Structure formats: structure tokens, C-alpha cells
Structure 1
Amino acid sequence: MIYSLVGYYSLILGLIIGLSLFYFSYKNFNNSNVLDTKILSFTFLQLFFVVISFLCLIFSFVISDFSNVTVFNNSHTTKPLFYKISGTWGNHEGSLLLWLLVLTLFIFIFLLRTKNQPVKYKILTLVFQQIIIVGFFLFLIKTSNPFNYIFPIPTEGLGLNPILQDPALAIHPPILYLGYVGSSIIFSSVLAATSLKIISTSWASHIKKWILISWIFLTLGILLGSIWAYYELGWGGFWFWDPVENVSLMPWLALTTLLHCILVLEKKSILTSWVIILSIATFTLSMCGTFLVRSGILNSVHTFANDPERGLFILIFLFILIFLSILIFFFFHKDNDRKSYSFFWLSKETSILINNWFMMYFLSVVLIGTVYPIFLDVISSEKISVGPPFYHKLIIPFLIPFLLIMAIGPKLKWIKSQLEDKIYLISFLIISILLAFLVLKNFNQNILINTILISSALYLFFITLRDFFVKKYKNISQNIAHFGFSLLILSILFNNIFASEIITNLKVGETFENSKTKIVFESVDQKKEKNYNAIIANFSISNLNGEEDRFSPELRIYNQPVIATSEADIKTTLMSDKFIVINLVQNQDFFNVRYQVKPFMLWIWLSVILISFAGIVSFYKKDYEK
């Protein structure tokens, strides 16, 4: 109980300090030659109190303090220590406290690390960031207090959702939030720079690091979530266009577009309007995601809460932030780069602008597919589900020119370019088309659309691979990112085209056999762990070549809460994943068995890691690369 009291009053003190920072910022703004040391001290103090509050919640989970409502609802004495700690942010209240922790940490680091920028800019950035921070303080204290008291004190808790008791998901939220909350600093910074009319190449160089940090963490956070869903939910794939998956993808698309724009602005004073709009859009989409998940509007395995009051608070807060952003954009931003719209048709600027349009189109498709069912439900009470076919049909045709421009664009020069002596561009295109055609013909696949898709991805793959040998260290981070993206698209295409699946019902001792695969259900074992009991099914699976694999998927029955989950058994090799999952058929004595072979699954994860690594490399550019 003492931890809950300390944690709660730490939040109150953090809120008071946030309000005090508005006063100190106002005083310092009119005398802005030097940043007032009180501002830095109070920012640190605010961070300190949020850290104390967060640690108190962790300790409450570790000692199973069931006088705390959050601990009671999301923990149990039989839970392993690791999941007690990760349970801190595996719920609505705790995850929002983690948001607040990252918000205060980022603004403190921003003030410490920002040099050679006007003091007024630092103060205004702090003010806009504190508006967000104070909003989150009020949200936590008013509607989502993680330190509410329960009496009489229960002797046992309700436990954490079993599917959240997983190592990948334990580290997925903190990393994802670093990406989400990183966009808040970009948002605050761009509003401050727009208000002071100091958006320039030097400002772009300064804010680019924060964009990169946010982009890297968001990419890795999405990757971890995708890996978790793949093996924990038993879906058998890496992406299912689940609404909450889309909620994380949308800010990533906006942030990726912003990253390309800021790289242009760093070299030339153009695309300033794009930079401002994308900075606002990225943070807005992050907040929209928070609203959709926290309000209970979205129905997904990822959602935390179902509380209209919470959703209404975030909706009002989001509206205020968007309204403030629009006011600043229209009243303070003077578009001095009208000439930037008359780019020569064959130039690096044009290629980046075209790719921006493609990215915004992809973002629009995902946004409409996610939000439209919600509006339809509100307007007509008609419920529909927008699934993968919708996204595939609208995105895939536009992915082809996007990949081609992505391959050719970096080869162009600024202002005006020529494609003379670029014979290799045409040669690689011909080779890519022939190679894609031969691969698909050999496997008797749909030739036309798949040939065009694979050849465009191969084209980007070959072009970027050549650059590693020809240009060596020049634009190394760009080459790694584009190479990783081409590898990602190729892996996804091969994964979808060449995947196979068997779904059947089997009793112990029975065999399923077709022309390619033989599945033998050998036996069933039982296992008892600290927080669950498991039924383990033993399978022997062989293919045409006589290769035999043994699998042991599980059905787990958790003790608190009492929930049954399916645990897939996956055999991973360099070329493919073999994936098997079982489910009990109600009132029957057989199991539903789903066996899949998923080619190039490992390469999907490796390619995303490679893309993230490219962002890290950008921090360590040598002078000869710039």
C-alpha cells in the first residue's frame, strides 16, 4: 500500500512541476539569451517523480500488493517474476504511465543535447511538450489512475492474460512506445520551429536524429509485435491487417516519409510544408492509435480497455492538439518554396516527391480500411470486417511503380539529371523480369501479376546490391535500408506464393497423408508448470524426400485467469518455417491440426532488422559520406 501512496503523490507532484514549467518558460522566453537553469532542474525533477511513480508500480507488482486495483486485475502470486514485472505495462494504466515516463525522459534529453539552436526554440519546444505531458498526467490521474486502492484487500489477483505472458510481448510495448513517443518531440519541435520561422537546413540536421531514433524504435517495436503474433496467436503468418497492427503501421508510414523529406531539407531549403504536415500527422496518428485502442472501439486481441470515458478524454485532447497545430501551420508558416513545385521531371527531388505520394496513398488505404468499419457501425449499426483482400488489391498494383522509382531515384542528381550511361539500369530490369518469369514458370504459379511484382522487387534488390560494390561507403545507410526493403518485399512475395497449408482433424494414433506430406499423430503427454498445465501432442511429419521432423505443439490451460491457449511448434531453417498448431474440438475426442510450410519466414525478420540497422548506421556517418 505504501508504494501506491508514494506512486500516486509522485504523479501529483509531477503534474504541479509541469504547470510550474509553463511559468518559468514564460519568464525565460522574454529574456532568452541563456536557458534558465531552473527549467532544466524542474524538467529533471519531473522525470524523477515519474520514475519514482513507475518504480512504485513495478514494486507493487513484484510483491503482489493486491490492495492496488491495477495489480489485482493484472497479476497473480503464481506468475513468474519476469511476467510480474512486464505486467506493469501489460495493462491500460501501466502502459499509459510508461508513455508518460518516455515523454518526460525525451524532453529532458532534448534540452540536454540540443546545442547551437536558439533558446526561444528550446523553450517553445518544452512548452508544447509540456502541453502533451500535462494532458497525460490529467488523463492518468482522472480516468486511469494506476494506484487506486481496493478494500477489503483480496488474497489473490485475477492474473494477466496468458497470451501476454511472453518474452517478446514483454519488451514489445516499451520499444514501440519509444517510437510513438519519439514522435511527440518531433511534433513539439516542428511547432516551435514553425512559430519562430526557423525551419532551415540546420534545424533539419538537428531534428533528423530524433526522427531516426523514433523511426528505429517504431520499426523494431512493430517487428517484435509481428514475431509475437506469429508464434503466440497461432495465426501462422507475420501480418494479418488486424486493426491494432494497422494502428502501429500508419505512424510508421508517415515517419518513413518524413525521414526522406528531412534528408532533402537537410541539403536544400525545400519541402518545408511537407516536413511540417508529416511531423504533425505522425504524432496525430500515434495519438489516434492510442484513442482507438484505449476507448474499446477496436475489437482486437491487442486492446487494453473498454471505457468510453477514457476514449472521450483522449478524443478531446487529440482535437485540441490538432487544432493548435493547424492554427500554427496556417498563421506562422510562410511557404517560401513555391519554386520547389516546379522540379525538373527527371531529378532526385521529383523521385522523392513521387514516392511521398505513394507512401501517402498506402497510408490512406490503411487508414480507410481501419476507420471505415467504425464509422459504418456508428452511422448504420452495420458491422463489417475489412480483411487482407481489401489491402492487397489496393496496395499491390501501386507497389510495382513504387519499387521501380525507389530503385532509380537514388541514381538521379539534384535539380536536373540525365540517364545517359545508365545501361545497367535497363540490363538489370531485363534480367529481373526473366528471372522472375523462370522461377514462377518452374513452380507453375500465376505468371502475369506475380512476374511483375517479383521482377520489380528483384530490380531494387540488384540495383542496391550493385551499389555496395560500386559506391562502397557512399550513402551506405541508404543502400542498406533499400536493400533490406527489397529483401523484405521478396521474402513476403515468396512467402505468400509458395506457402502450403494442411488443416485436418486427427485422433491420437491416426495418420493424414496427401501427395506431398504425411502427418502421424503419435501420442499425447501432459506437463505441469507453475502457472499452467499443458497437453503436449507429439507428431511425426515427413515429406516426399523422406525427410522427417518431430513436432510437439501444446494446449495450455492457465490457472489464473483460467484460459486455454494454443502454443505452436515451429521448426525454423534458413529457407523455410514448418509451423504446426493444435486446437481441441469441443465435445469431440479429436484435435484440429493446422500444419503450414512458410518459405523465407526468417528472411522477413532479418530484412526488417537490416532496415533498422540502416537507421543506426546513419548516426555514424563519416565526413566523406556527408
Structure 2
Amino acid sequence: MIVETGHYALVLALALALMQFAIPFAGARLNDTALMRVARPAAIVQFLFVALAYGVLTYAHVVSDFSLVNVIENSHSLKPFIYKISGVWGNHEGSMLLWVLVLSFCGALVALFSATMPDKLRADALSVQGLLGAAFLLFILLTSNPFARVDQPPWEGRDLNPILQDPGLAIHPPLLYLGYVGFSIVFSFAAAALIGGRIDAAWARFARPWTLFAWVALTLGIAMGSYWAYYTLGWGGFWFWDPVENASLMPWLAGTALLHSAAVMEKREALKVWTIFLAILAFSLSLLGTFLVRSGVLTSVHAFASDPERGVFILGILIFFIGGALALFAIRAGSLPTGGLFAPISREGALVVNNLLLSASCATVVIGTLYPLALEALTGEKISVGAPFFNTVLIPVALPLALLMPIGQMLPWKRGDLGAALSRLRVAFVVGLVGAAALGALYGTPFLSILFGGVAVYLVVGGVSDIVQRVTFRAASAGSVFARLRGVPLSAWGTSISHAGMGLTLLGLAATGWGVENILVMKPGDFYDVGPYRLGIESVDARQGPNYSEIYAVMAVRAGDRTLATIEPAKRNYPARRMQRSEAGIVTLGLGQVYAAIGESHPDGTIDARLYWKPFVTLIWFGALVMAFGGACSLADRRLRIGVARRAVALPEAAE
């Protein structure tokens, strides 16, 4: 009966989602405040019912209720408890339920923290959010029911995919979904603004915190997914330009552009049309990523579903919401006011160039991801678009973008002096040149690694230069410096920290050109060079895990005659799934890592292995954490945490 409760809860949530859409939307058209205010309790109660359904499915996984198809296909009684919890979303049905849970959670957050928002804007935004929830709840109930039963339950389940039996599964998908679905709030605000005709700085003030929230979550989700692929797949890589990886990068690039555009709109009431378009685009790309993962058009370690019926349903959702939003945008865009003017050399001008470069990057990723799919659908020809294409096209865009970021920070709003801004960055330029020279002397070619290493150092120093100069300019004493530090807005801290974090990540990416890879057959007792270190196998043994068996090698990592660390790369076998998985052995030494993965054992006692030395690789993920922390600092700024009061003057309503 508990399982049926979850199913009934989803049906009730669908009814509430439809109510959340229809009643407030009608109230906004009729200017009926009572009807408009139905949106808030409907959004909150819808979330509670979806949470109940999700809790029931989690309970079924925890107790190994093999009367459910979802549990049979994705669980095992011997599976560790953490994977029983995270395994709930390690499959198509469960992950879609998590998607709807996050969607309803976002709607409930808007309902709870929108007291200062105009009734009509809130009603329209929550109506759109309710329609989104209804579409995905209908998709789950009609094509992806997680509560489907079997008449004769088996004694044991098929277990979770071994690749997913990792702590990364507990972190990566929830963060990614918070980012994907977080942009649905900004999408709903954009649709509400277009419907109601209210596009002003107050709108940007309401939308910007949700953009930051989604961007921070998506940044962390992508970083976690990258690190998970790095240590789990045993290939020694952190990004493979897999189409499903690109599906998360596309909304991140659009969301980054939106974040900067919304800042201009909030400060100067400029770029209104462009900001609305980016708000639609960011969530549209999130929906596109959902379609790619669940339609069966892709073959990937990330892809969940291959059922054409599900793909057609999601394609219908995609066309309805993206097409509808773009059609509404096309109808309304011409009537929107243009906003404030600014000089080309100004912070607004720098942010416009930033948006153009980010949009070009996003378009490149979209084309590189979708072109092979379109070509195969039209001609049957299969091609692969990978790192050579993306690196060739994106590197020329990334270089000016990185150079521009600190310059834009130094320019004032409305009108600026480029010479003065460059003068304030002279220390960053010098340190960047010295950094490039030092990296070139230490590691040598390739030239691109030296170039981007120097740019990364410049970006880190330039990112913090704004704060340093704010607090030290004509400071009379250390006390005045500390007083100024306390007065720097959190949003300014957030900008500087995020830009510095991007520099750290860029340095980690640049250093991939200095990595060392050694593919060999290792003999126990012998040591082999990998970068500045030597690795040797001390022993090879077997052991039994809760639901797997493994062969593991104990390897010593040495510098000269001194043993620095011991690592244990392994090859695991999961009998229920009849699958194997590599478990890498990794040790962090300084900012770099020694990485080892083993393959097949041979009768003579030797074993196949991949050995890597990856200098500065940890900066890729540490920089992402710093970027996210910067975003969190901006989100904590009091000016973004409080709503704009109703003093903002509404624009005349657009013709219905």
C-alpha cells in the first residue's frame, strides 16, 4: 500500500500543477487578487506531494522491495546503503522523479520568498512553473512510472550499473538538476514579463538571485561530474566532449552570459531584450539536454533511456515550451523599451563583448553537438565531432574573453577610460608574463600551454586587483584598509573571487599539455618512470566487496629512493550485472596528481597499466569551487536577498 501512496501522490501533484497554472493565470488576466494568490499555496502543496512520492520510492529502494520494476532493474539486497539512496536517481524513472522534485522545490521557493513581488508577476511566473510541472508529471505518469509493479517479484534484483556505484552519484545529479531546473525560474520570470509587459530593473532584481542560484549549482554539478569521470572511468581524462557533457556546458555558458546581462539590466536598465532572450535560452538548452539524454538519440555512458515513445514525448515538451516562449518573445520584443544608453568604453560595453564571446562559445558547442545528429538523421552518415574541433574553434574565443574579464572589472559604468583601466592592471600583466616565462622554463612546450598558463596567472591577479585597489587607494593606515574591506559589497567580492577561480581552472586546463602518460606492462618489483616520479607494484591480490570482487595492485610512488605514497588501483567485477569497472589509484602531490589504472593480468605475473602524471590538475576543480564560492558571495549580498518594494514604477501593460 505504501507504493500506491507514492503513485497517488504524483496524480494529486499533477492536479495541483494544473491548478497552479490555470487559476492564477486567469486571475492575472481578470485582475482578481484572490485568484492570483492561489499560486503560492498550490506551489507549496504540489512540492509536498512530489516529495512524498519521492520518499516512497526511496523507501522501496532501501528495503529492497522487488515488487517494483524500478527496484528490480536498479538495485540489489547486498548493495551498500549509500547506493540504495543514490540509486533512486541512477535510472531513467527515478531521475525524472528527481527532476520534478527539484522543479516543484524551485516553485515552492519562489512562492515562499516572493512576498515583495507584484501579485501579477508572481502569479504569471508560478503559472508557467505550474505548467512545466504538469508537463513533466504527465510524462512520468504516462511513459516513465517509477511505481510499476510485477505480479511475481524475484528474490533478487539486477543491481545498479557499476559505473554509477560511486559517491559521485550522490552529488553530481542533484547539483546538476538544481542548475538545470533552477533556470526554469528565470524562464518563468521571462515568460511572465513578456505576458504582463513588465520589463524593468525591478524584474532584473527579482530574477538575478535565481540566476545566481542556478549558475552556482550547475558549476558545482559540472565540476563534480568532471571529477567523477576522471577517477571512475579509468581513462585519466576529465572531459571528453561527450554530447551529454556538452548538454550541461551549453546552459552554463548561456547562464553565465545571462548573469552578466542581468547585472547591466539591473544597474542601467539596458539590454532588456537580450536579457529576456538569454533567460529563455538558458532553460531551453537545459530542456535540450534532457531530450538528448532521454530520447535515445545518443549512445553514451551518461544516457539513460532509449525508448522512442519517451523521446517523442519529451520532444513535444521541448517544442511546446521553447517554441511557445520564442513565439511570445518575437511578438513582444518589438514593444519592449530599449533602456539606458552607455559609451562603448564602459563596464556595460565590456559586458556586451563578454556576452557576444560567451554566446559564440555556446553556439559552437550547440553546433558541434547537434550537427552529427542532424547529419545522421538526414543522410545516415555517422561522424564524430570531438576535441580537435572544439579546441580549434573555442581557443580563439577563450583567449580574448579571459583577457577582457579583469579589464571589464576596472571600467566604471556608463563611460570609462580604457587607458586608466589598463594602467590599473599593469601589475597583473607583469605577473602574467613572469608566470608564462616561469612555466615555459619549468615545463617547456607546447606553446598554447605556456600562453594560457600566463593568461591564467594574469586572470587570477587581475581578478583580485579590483578589491586590492579599492581598499588601498590613498589609504592612510592599516585601520582604514580594514574599514574599507568591511565596506566592500559582497557582490564585488563575488565578482573578483569568481574571476580568480576561472583563472585557477584555466591554469589547470593549460597544464594538461605538460602531463605525462605511460601505457605499459608492469612487472611486480620493477619501477617505472612517470613524470618526476617512479611507480612500482609491490603486490597484486584479490578481495571481496559487498556486491563485487576485485583484483587490486599495491603500488608505491617514489621520488628517488623515498616512498611518498601508496596507491591501490583495482579492477572490479560485479556478478549481478556481469560487468567490470576500473578503480583508479590516485595520490595528490602538490597541485598535481599521480594516477594509475590497471587492466588485465597475465600468466607470467605482469599486469597491464596506465600511469599518468598530471601537474596542476587539481586546480581544475579547485577553481570551480572558488567560482561557485564567488557566486555564493554575490548571492549573499543584501541587495540581492531583499526584494524590490512596490515603489518600482510598472510600465504600461502590453496589449493582450
Give the shorter-chain TM-score range: over 0.9
Contact 1:433 1:452 in 2 (8 A): no
Q: 2:77 matched to which residue of 1?
A: 77
1:14/1:352 CA distance change after superposition, 3 Å: same
Q: Residues of 1 paired with 2:123 and 2:381: CA distance? A: 49
1:378-422 Cα shifts (integer Å, max 9, x gaps): 222222222212111111122111111112111112222113545
Specify which of 551, 554, 561 is matched with residue 577 of structure 2. Answer: 561
Q: 1:344 matched to which residue of 2?
A: 343
Q: Residues of 2 paired with 1:35 and 1:26: CA distance? A: 8
Q: Which moved more, 1:518-527 or 1:185-194?
A: 518-527
One-letter identity of the residue aligned with 1:499: G
Q: 1:253 matched to which residue of 2?
A: 253
Q: 2:615 matched to which residue of 1?
A: 599
Q: Which moved more, 1:461-470 or 1:133-142?
A: 461-470
Deviation of 1:232 (Å) = 0.8
Find the residue that maps to 2:425 and give its secondary structure.
Answer: helix
1:545/1:376 CA distance change after superposition, 3 Å: farther
Find the residue that maps to 1:619 and give its secondary structure.
Answer: helix
Deviation of 1:507 (Å) = 4.3
Q: 2:474 matched to which residue of 1?
A: none
Q: 1:526 matched to which residue of 2?
A: 542
Q: 2:496 matched to which residue of 1?
A: 479
One-letter identity of the residue aligned with 2:235: W
Q: Which moved more, 1:586-595 or 1:221-230?
A: 586-595
Specify which of 582, 586, 591 is matched with residue 570 of structure 1. Answer: 586
Which stretches in structure 2 are left out of the alignment for 5+ residues? 472-487, 643-656
Deviation of 1:500 (Å) = 0.9
Contact 1:365 1:394 in 2 (8 A): yes
Find the residue that maps to 2:461 and give its secondary structure.
Answer: helix
1:433/1:41 CA distance change after superposition, 3 Å: closer
Q: Residues of 2 paired with 1:555 and 1:411: CA distance? A: 52
Contact 1:433 1:451 in 2 (8 A): no
Q: 1:234 matched to which residue of 2?
A: 234
Q: Residues of 2 paired with 1:443 and 1:464: CA distance? A: 25
Q: 1:356 matched to which residue of 2?
A: 355
Deviation of 1:514 (Å) = 8.2
Q: Which moved more, 1:506-515 or 1:300-309?
A: 506-515
- Normalised by the size of structure 1, how large is the TM-score? 0.94
Query: Is 2:160 aligned against 1:172?
Result: no
Contact 2:205 2:640 in 1 (8 A): no
Query: Is 2:489 aligned against 1:490?
Result: no
Aligned residue runs from structure 1 range 314-353, under 5 A: 314-334=314-334, 336=336, 338=338, 343-353=342-352
Q: Residues of 2 paired with 1:223 and 1:73: CA distance? A: 29
Find the residue that maps to 1:333 and give its secondary structure.
Answer: helix
Q: Residues of 2 paired with 1:36 and 1:427: CA distance? A: 55
Aligned residue runs from structure 1 range 259-298, under 5 A: 259-298=259-298
Find the residue that maps to 1:87 and give its secondary structure.
Answer: helix
Q: 2:112 matched to which residue of 1?
A: 112
Deviation of 1:598 (Å) = 0.9
Deviation of 1:38 (Å) = 4.2
Contact 1:33 1:119 in 2 (8 A): yes
Q: Residues of 1 paired with 2:124 and 2:560: CA distance? A: 68
Deviation of 1:44 (Å) = 2.7
Contact 2:67 2:149 in 1 (8 A): yes
1:232-271 Cα shifts (integer Å, max 9, x gaps): 1112132221221111111011011101111111111111
Deviation of 1:620 (Å) = 2.7
Q: Residues of 1 paired with 2:549 and 2:291: CA distance? A: 36
Find the residue that maps to 1:199 and give its secondary structure.
Answer: coil
Q: 2:140 matched to which residue of 1?
A: 140
Aligned-residue RMSD, C-alpha? 2.4
One-letter identity of the residue aligned with 2:400: P
1:589/1:298 CA distance change after superposition, 3 Å: farther
Q: Which moved more, 1:602-611 or 1:244-253?
A: 602-611
Specify which of 617, 629, 634 is matched with residue 613 of structure 1. Answer: 629
Q: Residues of 2 paired with 1:254 and 1:302: CA distance? A: 22
Find the residue that maps to 1:351 and give its secondary structure.
Answer: helix
One-letter identity of the residue aligned with 1:227: Y
Query: Is 2:163 aligned against 1:163?
Result: yes
Find the residue that maps to 1:88 and give its secondary structure.
Answer: helix
Deviation of 1:151 (Å) = 1.8
One-letter identity of the residue aligned with 2:630: A
Find the residue that maps to 1:570 and give its secondary structure.
Answer: strand
Contact 2:574 2:580 in 1 (8 A): yes
Contact 2:346 2:413 in 1 (8 A): yes
Contact 1:195 1:333 in 2 (8 A): no
Q: Which moved more, 1:23-32 or 1:48-57?
A: 23-32
Q: Residues of 2 paired with 1:510 and 1:117: CA distance? A: 69
Deviation of 1:607 (Å) = 1.2
Shift >6 Å, 4+ stretches? 585-589, 623-626
1:488/1:154 CA distance change after superposition, 3 Å: same
Query: Is 2:185 aligned against 1:185?
Result: yes
Find the residue that maps to 2:88 and give its secondary structure.
Answer: coil
Q: Residues of 2 paired with 1:514 and 1:417: CA distance? A: 51
1:560-589 Cα shifts (integer Å, max 9, x gaps): 212111100100133211110001169996
Deviation of 1:517 (Å) = 5.1
1:261-315 Cα shifts (integer Å, max 9, x gaps): 1111111111111111111111111011000000121221111111111111111
Q: Residues of 2 paired with 1:615 and 1:113: CA distance? A: 19
Q: Residues of 2 paired with 1:336 and 1:230: CA distance? A: 46
1:34/1:47 CA distance change after superposition, 3 Å: same
Q: Residues of 2 paired with 1:78 and 1:625: CA distance? A: 46
Q: Residues of 2 paired with 1:77 and 1:625: CA distance? A: 45
Which stretches in structure 1 are left out of the alignment for 5+ residues? none
1:125/1:504 CA distance change after superposition, 3 Å: same
Q: Residues of 2 paired with 1:378 and 1:522: CA distance? A: 52
1:575/1:417 CA distance change after superposition, 3 Å: same
Q: Among all aligned residue pairs of Structure 1 and Structure 2, give the percentage whose two residues are the same amino acid.
A: 38
1:517/1:571 CA distance change after superposition, 3 Å: closer
1:507-546 Cα shifts (integer Å, max 9, x gaps): 4455545896544333211111211111111223434575
One-letter identity of the residue aligned with 1:375: A
Q: 1:390 matched to which residue of 2?
A: 389
Contact 1:69 1:148 in 2 (8 A): yes
Aligned residue runs from structure 1 range 525-544, under 5 A: 525-544=541-560
Q: Residues of 2 paired with 1:275 and 1:215: CA distance? A: 15
1:339/1:212 CA distance change after superposition, 3 Å: closer
1:572-612 Cα shifts (integer Å, max 9, x gaps): 13321111000116999642211111111222221111110
Q: Residues of 2 paired with 1:410 and 1:325: CA distance? A: 33
Q: Residues of 2 paired with 1:331 and 1:551: CA distance? A: 61
Deviation of 1:3 (Å) = 2.6
1:3-49 Cα shifts (integer Å, max 9, x gaps): 32111111112112222334422553314345655443333332222
1:27/1:364 CA distance change after superposition, 3 Å: closer
Q: Residues of 1 paired with 2:559 and 2:381: CA distance? A: 46
Aligned residue runs from structure 1 range 39-58, under 5 A: 39-58=39-58
Q: 1:200 matched to which residue of 2?
A: 200
1:24-78 Cα shifts (integer Å, max 9, x gaps): 2255331434565544333333222211111111111111111111111000111
1:625/1:434 CA distance change after superposition, 3 Å: farther
Q: Which moved more, 1:78-87 or 1:252-261?
A: 78-87
